Amino acid sequence: MPKQQLSLAQFLPYRLSIVMQAVSEGLAQRYARDFGISTPEWRIISRLGENSEMTARDIALQGRMNKTMVSRAAADLVRRRVVTRRISREDRREAFLRLTRQGEDIYAAIVPLALDYERGLTAGLSGEDVATLGRLLDQLLQQADRTAAKLTAPDAAAAE
């Protein structure tokens, strides 16, 4: 049987990773320089800017981020008074995060930069292409979840 080969340059997971890195780097450098925040910190700030109050666990789940990375970034934001942390009355292991006034100001300053950056990324695409890209990304994410679930599910034959 001939050995299978992989062309990394054409391998979809690799290409998506490269695109994600390239897209993320430009804006990340700007908010690191102008606001002194990292990518995980920006993701927390943006989630809280949209949702007012969330747990680190929920931020990690929604953003598909490592919980430890979110916890560390949140702790840094609390220390710098960008975010407040309130312990849940129902479950003392859970804490709710919320932007401070300083955090709201950072969010308000970065949003126009982020939207302008997004416009720059899609400048060569038609409105229909942008909508199609959004739809395809949603479908690809759903399919990735289904495929990962199949790969990580216990083998049905082994369970018998």
pLDDT value of position 156: 41
Q: What digits encode the pLDDT tens for the residues 46-62?
A: 999 999 899 999 999 99
Which residue from 87, 92, 82 is spatially nearest to 47, judged by alpha carbons? 82
Mean pLDDT of the chain: 90
Average pLDDT over residues 127-151: 93
What is the pTM for the complete model shown?
0.82
Q: What are the domain boundaries of the chain?
A: 35-121, 124-152
Which residue from 112, 130, 114 is spatially nearest to 122, judged by alpha carbons? 130
Q: What digits encode the pLDDT tens for the residues 101-114?
A: 999 999 999 999 99
Average pLDDT over residues 113-138: 95
The CA-atom distances, in angstroms, between 152 and each of 46, 57, 123, 147, 155 are 31, 22, 39, 9, 9
Q: Please check whether residue 115 is in contact with residue 96, taking contact to mean a CB–CB distance below 8 angstroms.
A: no
pLDDT value of position 155: 65
> What is the distance between the alpha carbons of residues 131 and 74, in angstroms, rounded to a whole number?
33
pLDDT value of position 91: 80
Q: Which CATH architecture has domain 35-121?
A: Orthogonal Bundle (1.10)
φ, ψ dihedrals at 87, nearest 5°: -70, 135
pLDDT value of position 158: 52
pLDDT value of position 157: 44
For the chain, what is the radius of gyration of the CA atoms?
A: 20
